[in-house]
Amino acid sequence: MSVTKLNGLRLQRMIVAGANELHANKQAVDAMNVFPVPDGDTGTNMSLTMLAAARETEKGDALRVDEVTKRASGGALRGARGNSGVITSQILRGFAKGLEGLEEAGVKELTAAMEQGVKTAYKAVMKPKEGTILTVARACAEAAVAESEKTDDIEVFLKAVLEHAHDVLNQTPDMLPVLKEAGVVDAGGRGLLYILEGALKHINSEEALKVAEPTQQTAKEYAALASVDNESITFGYCTEFFINVKNADDATVQQLKSYLGTIGDSIVCVSDDEIIKIHVHTDHPGLALEKALTIGSLSGLKIDNMREQHNNIIDFTTSEKKTPVEEARAAQPVQEERPKKDIGFVSISAGSGLTAIFHNLGVDEVIEGGQTMNPSTEDILNAVDKINADHIFILPNNKNIILVAEQAAELSEDKKLYVIPTKSVPQGISAMFCYEEGADPEEMAEEMKEAITAVATATVTFAVRETTIGDKEIHEGDILGMLNDSIAVVGKDIAESTKELLAEAVTDESEMISIYYGADVTEEDAEALAAYVEETYPDCEVELQMGGQPLYYYIISVE
């Protein structure tokens, strides 16, 4: 059957199918990471971003294409993880702009939306590189323009777009030498084509699809939750719901957000014309629901008990559960607002030792993640909302989280966010040493950016696959020594490889060497390494601390 127009329902199914296709192939995309390190996660980040977009399209009727893409864009913006996820969210954002005001879309409209998606994504990246997902997205748009003159059959149109895009994807190693060295095509570009392939497969389907469950990520989140003492959870119930309104004006949203701040934290209060999305951690969900009912009707209610290590969804429709009004009447006095600060800090890190270090340096909220699990835009916004300060500094501590942090800064409405482009934990720690109470935020931001340029970061991990990079032949299980963004050492022994890496990292100008040992390194081995460093580099001050980070045996700062 020839399809010449997409309505909202068909497009919604195609978006879900695209997200599910990428989810099914995310490990194949992860394996295309240029460096064979254990945290190659382009596929996982893109998949989680698309699943967030797809889940949003399931909420409410999907009769118009502009409504569907608007929901998908909103879900992707808040759920974006990693650089690839942010770029994907920006493509969807532009695509939604291109379909504004449309009930249905044909080939011409889809072409215009693709072009707008590419323009929006390119604008979001400060220094776009060819040979990346951006190149593949542009190839899709260029092919769309050409094919839109030849056919009005959307299936034929998409097949031609995909064929051309695959040709360009196969050329990406010729555009980026690092891809050719690693023997892979661009991972983000391949992920994008999985999305389109999934959408194409279901263009004629009448089947109602369910969004896939991100099982791998859920397992990681449960593992992180299991390490948290229940007593450290300030508010016990993660409460989420939608308020259906005729007009979500800014004043109403701000008043509601202020109220939620008096009964909980981790607040997300996002309006989208006729709906307000609420997320809040509170001990009294009924108070939040009671307040929301004064604004409009509720839907999509989900309440999770965070003090249990599994989701415990409370169903208020059963007779055994209290109604929102009964819960509100039984509520205790509201929590006091946290003390006001001039400046607050959010840092991304992994490992109990590193978390403690950042807290000791004055960081208010440390988000678990970084090398092994990139946080989403919404994760960062949740952390920001916990801090009672008008000026908040974000330390991504990973080059793959900087765009996510910048997207959070763009979405934050009532607080000024400063993203310090820290690419490693040592850079984040160095930035925090610039903090002075009462300092001007703008001046301090510039000082931090200057300070992190003097930090060299050396990391020691292991190879997850075989490859050749430059003159280095790498086998699965080899020990890898990374100096900033390059593989400097390939070896078989952790201690010897670390010593060799230090010889590359330490210069005559070096004054300070800080060693953070990971979860898989014993204290005895770490102390032996520190003793070697003190003896070998007597002009440098040496500091050893337990970082507790997974996957990376050592993170070393040389200044």
CATH label of the domain that carries residue 367: 3.40.50.510
Residues 6+ apart with CB under 8 A from 204: 1, 3, 155
The residue among 136, 143, 138, 139 whose CA lies nearest residue 157 is: 143
For the chain, the residue count is 559
With bands split at pLDDT 50, 70 and 90, how would you rate the model's confidence at 333? very low
Q: pLDDT at residue 232 above 50? A: no
Instruction: For residue 546, list its beta bridge partners.
Output: 517
Q: To the nearest 10°, the Cα dihedral for 385, 390, 396, 399?
A: 120
Written in H, E and C, the secondary structure of 283-319 is: CCHHHHHHHHHCCCEEEEEEEEECCCCCCCCCCCCCC
For range 271-284, the mean pLDDT: 72
Q: What's the mean pLDDT in 144-161?
A: 96
Q: In the predicted model, is pLDDT for residue 403 greater than 80? A: yes
Q: What is d(CA 197, CA 185) in angstroms, rounded to the nearest whole number?
A: 17
Q: What are the two backbone dihedrals, phi and then psi, of residue 194, each rounded to the nearest 5 degrees? A: -60, -40
The tens digit of pLDDT for each residue in 484-530 reads: 878 999 999 999 999 999 999 999 999 999 999 998 899 999 999 99
Return the closest-CA partner of residue 390 out of 340, 447, 464.
340
Residues 377 and 306 in one domain: no
Q: Is 305's pLDDT higher than 90?
A: no
- The answer to whether residues 146 and 265 belong to one domain is no
Query: Does one domain contain both 259 and 389?
Result: no
Does 226 reside within a domain?
A: no
From the list 537, 535, 528, the residue with the least C-alpha distance to 559 is 537
108 lies in the same domain as 88: yes
At residue 422, what are phi and psi to the nearest 5 degrees? -75, 130
- Residue range 342-358, pLDDT digits in tens: 899 999 988 888 989 99
Give me 421's structure tokens.
Answer: 């482009």
Q: Are residues 52 and 128 in the same domain?
A: yes
Report which secondary-structure segment, H or E, holds 75.
Answer: helix 65-79
Answer whether residue 163 is part of any domain: yes
Comparison of pLDDT for 118 and 324, the residue scoring more: 118
Question: Are residue 160 and residue 22 in the same domain, yes or no?
Answer: yes
- Better-predicted residue by pLDDT, 306 or 435: 435
| Beta carbons of 169 and 136 less than 8 angstroms apart | yes
DSSP conformation letters of 357-418: HHHHTT-SEEEE-SSSSPPBHHHHHHHHHTS-EEEEEEE--STTTHHHHHHHHHH-SSSEEE
278 - beta bridge partners? 241, 269
22: confidence class by pLDDT, cuts 50, 70, 90? very high
pLDDT in tens, 427-477: 999 999 999 888 999 999 999 999 999 999 999 999 887 888 878 888 889
Question: Is 70 exceeded by the pLDDT of residue 230?
Answer: no
The amino acid present at 324, given as its one-letter code, is P
| CATH at 476 | 3.30.1180.10
**Residues 69 and 87 occupy one common structural domain:** yes
Single out the residue in 329, 364, 380 at which a domain terminates: 329
Looking at residue 226, its pLDDT comes to 36
Expressed as residue numbers, the domain containing 540 is 456-558
52 and 188 co-located in one domain: yes
| Cα–Cα distance for residue pair 434/450, rounded to 1 Å | 10
Beta bridge partners, 486, equal 483
pLDDT at residue 392, as a whole number: 95
How far from 388 is each of 239, 266, 336, CA to CA, in Å?
Answer: 21, 12, 12
Res. 97: pLDDT tops 80: yes
The enclosing H or E element of 555 equals: strand 554-558
What's the mean per-residue pLDDT of the chain? 84
Q: Which helix (H) or strand (E) holds 545?
A: strand 541-546
Q: Say if CB 295 and CB 256 are below 8 A apart.
A: yes
For the chain, helix, strand, coil in percent to 5 are 45, 20, 35
What is the pLDDT at residue 417? 94
Mean pLDDT on 405-425: 91
Contact status, residue 410 vs residue 394, Cβ threshold 8 Å: no
| Two structure tokens written together for 344 | 């607050």
Instruction: State which amino acid sits at residue 527.
Output: E
pLDDT at 371: 55
DSSP characters over 330-342? TPPPPPPPPPPEE
Residue 227 counted as domain residue: no
Instruction: Verify that 442 and 460 share a domain, yes or no.
Output: no
Nearest 5°: the CA angle 59, 64, 68 is 40
Residue 107, domain CATH: 1.25.40.340
Structure tokens belonging to residue 117:
């998606």
Residues 6+ apart with CB under 8 A from 59: 71, 242, 299, 300
Answer yes or no: is 442 within a domain: yes
Q: Are residues 129 and 278 in the same domain?
A: no
Across residues 22-31, what is the average pLDDT? Answer: 90
Which residues lie closer than 8 Å to 134 by C-beta, 6 or more apart? 87, 118, 121, 122, 125, 128
Contacts of 177 (CB under 8 A, 6+ apart): none
Query: Does any domain span residue 2?
Result: no
45: alpha, beta or left? (left if phi > 0; alpha if psi -120 to 50): alpha
Per DSSP bridges, beta strands 486-491 and 479-483 are antiparallel
Residue 50: phi and psi, rounded to 5, are -70, -35
- Please indicate whether residue 210 or residue 448 has the higher confidence score (pLDDT): 448
Return the pLDDT at 274.
Answer: 66
Q: Is residue 336 part of a domain?
A: no
Cβ within 8 Å of residue 143, ≥6 positions away:
160, 161, 163, 164, 165
The single-letter DSSP state of residue 1 is: -
Domain limit, last residue, from 434, 452, 470: 452
Determine the pLDDT at residue 351.
83
Distances (CA, A) of 185 to 69, 135, 137, 138, 467: 29, 12, 14, 16, 14
% of the chain surpassing 90 pLDDT: 53
Gap between the Cα atoms of 405 and 427, Å rounded: 16
- Count up the domains in the chain and report the number: 4
| Residue 491 domain-assigned (yes or no) | yes
| Helices 425-432 and 441-452, packing angle to 10 deg | 140
311 and 175 within one domain? no
pLDDT at residue 295 greater than cutoff 70: yes
DSSP 8-state assignment for residue 550: S
Is 222 inside a domain boundary? no
Q: What is the pLDDT of residue 40?
A: 60
Q: Which residues pair with 367 in a beta bridge?
A: 348
What distance in Å separates the CA atoms of residue 391 and residue 346, rounded to the nearest whole number?
A: 11
Last residue of a domain, one of 294, 329, 364: 329
Residues 375 and 437 occupy one common structural domain: yes
Record the pTM: 0.69
